[in-house]
Amino acid sequence: MDTAGEYFDDGSSFLPIDPLSINPDSLADFALFERNDTDTEGKYRFRCLLKDTTSIPRLRLLELLRAWDVVYIHRTQRQNYNEYVKNNLEFILKHEEIDDKKKSAALTRLSTDVVKESFQINFASGRECRNMVENIQHLITRAIDYISSIASLGGIAELVGHDYETHTHSIKVGWLMATFINFNQDLFPISSKSAVKEFMIQAAVAGFLHDIGKVKIPKNVINKPGQLNNLEYVIIQSHTAYSTSLLFETKLPRSFMQMILYHHENEDGSGYPKGLCRDQIPVLAKVCHIIDVFDALTSRRPYKPAKSPFEALKIMAGDNPYLETLQKFEEEARKNQRAPVTAIVRDDYEAKLRRLREREILEEEAQKRVEARMRLRDQGMSHCFNKELLKRFILTINSSDNFDLTGLL
């Protein structure tokens, strides 16, 4: 669709991009606009600066791109821009003059689109599943040098505190897996430089797809605005098995399939799906569990504000003084047991009303115990994680100026 030469718009129809992200050696099939303030009902004037990058000499284009602070593209050309970013991702991520936040924003947008597409494929088709994994591998291969660097953690820091969404959560988990592995290579069976890079790519791919099984979970459970009750908690636990079954015919190595299957296992054996503990849990799954919980705690939920990285890691590293009670509540939830309470309603109720009121009392008690379980978790979660790996994770992200976790070390 062709764009006009001028628009008056509140800004919602335009996406800001860094002019330096335009590769003068790669033809871009979208128009560039500038934005000016106007007095027309709170709208901006967007004027076309360049309709076709092929119509201008390379040196002149380079000169203009360096002169502009920010340019905009129209939403009708968003798909063209995304395709351009996909084809020029390495150019953008390796450009020394582009700010890391802008690099991260471009990578996040592209990764989110790729992961969303992955969640919408026909999983009954083995070919589509394999193509999905290959597409993600291709994206991560071009981005791995960036996402495995400490500099890229600034992009992760920018995403901390946002609403929890499965797609962006998956991206952050894959991203942090690559960074952690790069700075803790001694923990993994990798010897050569090329092997390290391939290992990081596969780990990031598995991180991107670790929650793919949630496509099989009912939407009313996934999108529930409040806390999950015990039955919903049991249902959500099945997503790890679903993830591995959906990826069964792909070429993901066994160790990364195990990472996906066991990334909710706890060090003390209280996790799921198998109740594994300590050395029974693969190292990759332990690391993924740490990263998964860290991102969940630092993300905003409808029923719970986001915690700062410091607060989240303090909870994760803390010993829980109410561990015995928490474990009892967790066992109730895993087995979907009724709350151990007997409802006694006065005899002057009609039989039907008395049964309804008794059910209400039981449900109220069950909800209280769900809320208590959530509060108790925040008292300390060190029983869930390997302490040495958690310490290594803290040291890794603390290497970035965007995180200050000194008091935890």
pLDDT profile of the chain (409 residues), mean per 10: 80 90 83 83 87 80 89 90 88 89 86 88 84 92 92 84 83 95 92 89 96 92 85 91 91 94 95 93 98 94 88 93 87 76 64 72 79 87 96 93 79
pLDDT at res. 39: 63
CATH of range 88-319+387-408; options 3.30.830.10, 1.10.1740.10, 1.10.3210.10, 3.40.50.880: 1.10.3210.10
How does 191-200 read in b/e, with b if 16+ C-beta sit within 10 Å?
A: eeeeebbbbb
* Angstrom distance (rounded) from CA 339 to CA 358: 13
- State how far the alpha carbon of 138 is from the alpha carbons of 89, 247, 284, 294, in Å: 11, 17, 22, 27
- State how far the alpha carbon of 372 is from the alpha carbons of 229, 235, 325, in Å: 12, 20, 10
* Angstrom distance (rounded) from CA 166 to CA 233: 16
**DSSP bridge partners of 348:** none
The full set of domain ranges for the chain reads 1-79, 88-319+387-408
pLDDT at res. 348: 63
pLDDT at res. 46: 93
Scanning 148-189, the segments in alpha helix (DSSP H) are: 153-159, 166-183
pLDDT at res. 265: 96
Residue type, 190: I
Under a CB-based contact definition with an 8 Å cutoff, are residues 384 and 268 in contact?
yes
pLDDT at res. 327: 87
pLDDT at res. 354: 67
Under a CB-based contact definition with an 8 Å cutoff, are residues 239 and 206 in contact?
no
Residue 137: partners with Cβ closer than 8 Å, 6 or more residues away = 201, 202, 205
